[in-house]
Chain A
């Protein structure tokens, strides 16, 4: 299987970021609905059926990685992306590009194909300590703990196979990747529906078919695992947009999850994702009148994954009261380079602006006839995604 993306000028002497991206919506041996009979050749299906959002989620994540305004990490530029997808017909209808994938570069996520990709990905990641390993996987799954989960692959439920033969053991992979020469920064995003408790109890003492040997353990700089682990999580998203978890993750990566690093630059890393991904996902789920949470495991020391190319956008709201004063006020808003971004007189009681994140100085002055009156200077920090200031004159 060839890489879906390879850096044009691979400089093997420099660290790079290597991604393995897997999305399983269509399962070879599962029916489209739990009420339907499974296809021929199926064994025990545990009552599971095909889903309609994991493949488009993985596709969107992979495209963000390679986009011009996407993943940016100067210390380890994107070097490779391995992509394995099995889209549903609903996803292909919404995103026709998913129907014409080249099997040479986007393989079907069967047990054997994923094993091949996994070993190759590990080999790339382990080549340099400064590399970054990124694993994104979406599909049916079962979560056992914050660190351990199983994700079911395209040929799950094949007759005459052990039930976990086509399952990927995320906890095992995470532990096996923590070797002394491994990529020191590793990020795991597991977008797997949390199946019914008890469904897999009888099989949890058997190994999964997609796993790695665990050798000598070593310390890493950071290796968080972010799970979307709510029941029905794969059903809440739309075939055109992907899972809510993927939408929330991309929202954070595009800037809403950015925070300042020690040098004063905006970055997205372990710490900022810990802080912003759960809240972003909760907000999105609330729009669907549902609750969905992020479960976070792994090694959680802070490290930078991505540096947005410019400061994130902030929706800034300024409320001025009382109304009478606003009608006689002069308002200026300047960033800390001294550049004026808003200058208005009189001002409305509610000012809404889109600004770049950063420090601002807000000045409001009220005229008392021809004489200068009360004046307020309010410095503040505008952080994504939104910031609100209330000024009472």
Chain B
């Protein structure tokens, strides 16, 4: 029951009715009274308040409200499309080389005409059929097995959307996890450098599929992969992508809940670990990075997070052990992982003169740095998930027939 001397206030984001986004609450002199979450009823003294909501796209929405004693008020703060970040990224991809290009025409209404959302197997076109135009590019999937790249087949890919203008073609698909390790999609267009994208999904986990977007600007292919299925993971990832690390960390609640969720959702746990490391919040990590690294043996990111945690705590032997483990698991799922891995390797190999680093480890670290540096310098630093431009796991010169074509059906093309 409300205290009649107080007022009750609930802030809601209509586009995210169940989502809990961090809000700050200030008095009329703009002094910060505290932070809370959307959807959470607040008991406040009568008076004027300034509410500020930081959305994952980096915008700050401010609302001023006046509360009287006994009020039970709900305020809606519309924030627009909550997938704004993905859209922004898409726009950036589209305009990078052709800044004056008209907007891509969406073909959402036509989806059912050319796709039944049925999975297609390896060797089949993403969305083509007989009579389809030539493919805009090709893809093949990779995994890493004990440090070695291995091509894998049988991807389950669902077309979601595609569109084309005279100069830009876009395809959006959903890929389903299979196998036991990290998966990477390599994309190429004949005669152009390849793009390698880590796919943020894990078979048997709460996130067992991801979205892959490919944009062909007439010159090169660009690609990005985004998380699906976990609203919290998506919000954390959106905040991280926008460098709002403290907001991302606020969504984590506590590291304990992540620990419990690790097996079910290792990607969310890894994102949480990266946020806490960026804030240098080592105590909040507890021992869960070690568990993440050991329990989810295929995920390089867990080993990297634990290595970084140990290095900052001065346990360099353990840090080195886990850096080497990470190296055997492949390239990390998230850019943050390659950042941390390269940074630590450069530290140990190039600058740290520490007698406690064993000779055998020293050579292994140097070899790993040599192997990873070219990947790092080719990394696109903008997306959250790893995107490498211009390098392939294996420059085997495989004919296009060995790849899965990325094609458009006839009705997707617009020749105007």
Which segment of B144-152, B181-189, B212-220, B239-247 sits at the interface?
B239-247
**A190: min CB distance to chain B, Å:** 12
Q: Which residues on A sit within 8 Å (CB–CB) of B86?
A: none
Indicate if the CB atoms of A220 and B280 lie closer than 8 Å: yes
Q: Which residues of A contact B242 (CB under 8 A)?
A: 275
Interface residue from A197, A262, A300 paired with B245 (Cβ < 8 Å): A300
Q: Report yes or no: A197 in contact with B389, Cβ–Cβ below 8 A.
A: yes
Interface of chain A residues 343 through 366 with chain B (CB within 8 A): 358-359
**How many chain-B residues does the 8 Å CB contact rule pick out?**
61
The answer to whether B351 and A291 touch across the interface, beta carbons within 8 angstroms, is no
Report the bound CA distance from A261 to B244 in whole Å. Answer: 16
* Cβ of B286 under 8 Å from chain A: no
Chain A residues near B346: list those with CB within 8 A.
144, 148, 169, 171-172
Q: How far is the CB of B27 from chain A (nearest CB, A)?
A: 8
Residues of A within 8 A of B244 (CB): 271, 274-275
Interface residues of B in 350-381 (CB under 8 A from A): 350-353, 366, 369-370, 373-374, 376-379, 381
B246 and A300 form a contact (CB under 8 A): yes
Per-position binary interface string of chain A over residues 162-181, scored 1 when its CB falls under 8 Å from any chain B CB and 0 otherwise = 00000001011001100000
Within 8 Å CB of A169, what residues of B? 346, 350-351
The answer for the CA separation of A176 and B351 in the assembled complex, in Å, is 10
Given the known inter-chain contacts A198-B377, A359-B50, please indicate yes or no for A264 contacting B350, CB distance below 8 A. Answer: no
Q: Is the CB of A289 within 8 A of B347?
A: no
Q: A159: which B residues are within 8 A, CB to CB?
A: none
Q: Across the interface, do A146 and B60 meet the contact criterion of CB distance under 8 Å?
A: no
Task: A219 to B92: give the CA distance in the assembly, Å.
Answer: 36
**Could you say which of B74-82, B252-260, B334-342 contacts chain A?**
B334-342
Q: Interface readout for A273-294 with B: 1 if CB under 8 Å, 0 if not?
A: 0110011000000000111010
B382 lies within 8 A of chain A by Cβ: yes
Whether a CB of chain B sits under 8 angstroms from the CB of A216 is: yes
Q: Tell me if A146 and B100 are in contact (CB < 8 A).
A: no
Are the C-beta atoms of A198 and B246 separated by less than 8 Å?
no
Is the Cβ of A148 less than 8 Å from the Cβ of B58?
no
- Shortest beta-carbon distance from B193 to chain A in Å: 9
Q: With contacts A204-B373, A205-B373, A381-B64 known, is A299 near B278, CB below 8 A? A: yes
User: Provided the pairs A211-B351, A217-B312 are in contact, do residues A145 and B379 lie with their beta carbons within 8 angstroms?
Assistant: yes
Closest to A144 in B: B376
* Residue B102 is within 8 A (CB to CB) of chain A in the complex: no
CB-CB nearest in chain A for B280: A299
A212 to B57, CA, bound (A): 37
Question: Could you tell me if A359 and B28 are in contact, using CB atoms closer than 8 angstroms?
Answer: yes
User: How far does the Cβ of B293 sit from chain A's closest Cβ, in whole Å?
Assistant: 20
A96 to B382, CA, bound (A): 38
Nearest B residue to A207 via CB reads: B350
Q: Is the CB of B347 within 8 A of A197?
A: no
B395 at interface by CB-CB < 8 Å = no
B314 within 8 A of A: yes
Task: Indicate if B32 sits at the interface (CB-CB under 8 A).
Answer: yes
Bound Cα distance from A44 to B279, whole angstroms: 40
B278 touches A264 (CB 8 A): no
B351 to chain A, nearest CB (A): 5
Does any Cβ of A come within 8 Å of B99's Cβ? Answer: yes
Complex CA gap A278/B58 in Å reads: 10
Residues of A123-179 at the interface with B, using a CB-CB cut-off of 8 Å, are 142-148, 169, 171-172, 175-176
Minimum distance in angstroms from B411 CB to a CB of chain A = 31
Which of A172, A217, A299, A380 lies in contact with B351, CB distance below 8 A? A172
Q: Closest approach, in angstroms, between the C-beta of B334 and any C-beta of chain A?
A: 11
Chain A CB within 10 A, most for which of B30, B246, B347, B370: B30
B347 near A379 (CB under 8 angstroms)? Answer: no
Give min CB distance, B270 to chain A, whole Å: 16
A213 at interface by CB-CB < 8 Å: yes
Whether A175 lies near B390 (C-beta < 8 A) is no
Interface residue? A302 (CB, 8 A)? yes
List B residues 61-98 near A (Cβ within 8 Å).
Answer: 62, 64, 66, 92, 95-96
Return chain B residues, CB-CB under 8 Å to A262. 31-32
Residues of A within 8 A of B64 (CB): 359, 379-381
A-B contact pairs, 26 of them (CB 8 A): A145-B342, A145-B343, A145-B379, A147-B340, A147-B342, A148-B342, A148-B346, A148-B376, A169-B350, A171-B346, A171-B347, A172-B347, A197-B389, A201-B374, A201-B377, A205-B350, A205-B370, A208-B350, A271-B244, A274-B243, A275-B54, A275-B244, A278-B243, A293-B382, A295-B382, A381-B52
